[in-house]
């Protein structure tokens, strides 16, 4: 069971995992060693899956975002696994979601420029049969981030 200190630790770490332990401990009114033990407990319990660095997409050279909505005529477990494998090593596809409604999947694709989308599209359709793919170019990111609300954690 998590308490408010655990939630504060989780919230602070997901916003910046490089925060010095002493600063984090002060934020939650604990000693550094007690805070460190809590972080280890949260990792062991699976609340913290991994610590990563979020890169500046402009500096890395992939400032363009395209969302592709995918329809398929196939819905078997084997086809889904083939699809999963087909997108796994296409680095430009950074997120993939299975959906309800008119489309089956949503892909978030990051690119150096919009013209590069055709190369990603061709790589994908060589690997797996798709019924329809509709692409949408993101004009502006209004909100972005990996942080999730911690108030629901138990």
Q: pLDDT digits over 11-45, tens only?
A: 999 999 999 999 999 999 999 999 999 999 999 99
What's the rounded mean pLDDT across residues 104-129? 97
Question: Which DSSP helix (H) or strand (E) runs through 38?
Answer: helix 32-44
Task: Provide the CATH number for the domain around residue 69.
Answer: 3.30.70.920
Please tell me whether residues 40 and 11 are part of one structural domain. Answer: yes
How many domains is the chain built from?
A: 2
List the structure tokens of 144. 């972005």
Q: Which domain holds residue 89?
A: 57-137
Please tell me whether residues 69 and 127 are part of one structural domain. Answer: yes
Please tell me whether residues 70 and 30 are part of one structural domain. Answer: no
pLDDT score recorded for residue 3 = 96
- Is residue 84, in this structure, part of any structural domain at all? yes
Q: How many CB atoms lie within 10 A of CB 63?
A: 14
List the structure tokens of 19. 């925060």
pLDDT score recorded for residue 115 = 97
Share of the chain above pLDDT 70, in %: 100
On average, the pLDDT of the chain sits at 96
Please tell me whether residues 126 and 64 are part of one structural domain. Answer: yes
Task: Provide the CATH number for the domain around residue 16.
Answer: 1.10.10.10
Please tell me whether residues 39 and 61 are part of one structural domain. Answer: no
Q: How many CB atoms lie within 10 A of CB 25?
A: 19
Kindly list the strands in the beta sheet with 132-137, ordered across the sheet, starting from the edge strand earlier in the chain.
Answer: 93-98, 105-111, 64-71, 132-137
Closest CA to 35 of 4, 5, 68: 5
Please tell me whether residues 80 and 123 are part of one structural domain. Answer: yes
pLDDT score recorded for residue 43 = 97
List the structure tokens of 22. 């002493």
- Is residue 39, in this structure, part of any structural domain at all? yes
pLDDT score recorded for residue 146 = 85
Closest CA to 15 of 153, 150, 154: 150
Query: What's the whole-model pTM score?
Result: 0.89
List the structure tokens of 56. 């500046």
Does residue 100 carry a pLDDT above 90? yes
Does residue 121 carry a pLDDT above 90? yes
CA distance 129 to 145: 32
CA distance 147 to 53: 13
Please tell me whether residues 39 and 72 are part of one structural domain. Answer: no
pLDDT score recorded for residue 64 = 98
The alpha-carbon radius of gyration of the chain (Å, integer) is 20
- Is residue 51, in this structure, part of any structural domain at all? no
Does residue 145 carry a pLDDT above 90? no
Backbone φ and ψ of 44, nearest 5°: -60, -35
pLDDT score recorded for residue 104 = 97
What's the rounded mean pLDDT across residues 96-109? 97
- Tell me the pLDDT band of 112, cut-offs 50, 70 and 90: very high
Please tell me whether residues 91 and 116 are part of one structural domain. Answer: yes
Please tell me whether residues 35 and 66 are part of one structural domain. Answer: no
């Amino acid at each position: 069971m998590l308490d408010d200190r655990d939630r504060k630790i989780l919230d602070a770490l997901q916003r910046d995992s490089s925060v010095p332990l002493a600063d984090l401990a002060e934020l939650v009114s604990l000693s550094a060693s007690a805070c460190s033990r809590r972080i280890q407990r949260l990792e062991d319990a699976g609340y913290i899956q991994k610590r990563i660095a979020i890169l500046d997409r402009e500096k890395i050279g992939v400032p363009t975002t395209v969302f592709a909505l995918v329809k398929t005529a196939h819905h078997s477990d084997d086809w889904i696994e083939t699809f999963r494998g087909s997108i796994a090593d296409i680095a430009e596809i950074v997120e993939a979601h299975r959906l309800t409604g008119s489309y089956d999947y949503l892909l978030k694709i990051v690119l150096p420029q919009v013209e590069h989308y055709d190369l990603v599209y061709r790589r994908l359709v060589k690997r797996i049969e798709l019924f329809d793919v509709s692409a949408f170019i993101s004009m502006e990111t209004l909100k972005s981030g990996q942080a999730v609300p911690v108030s629901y954690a138990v």
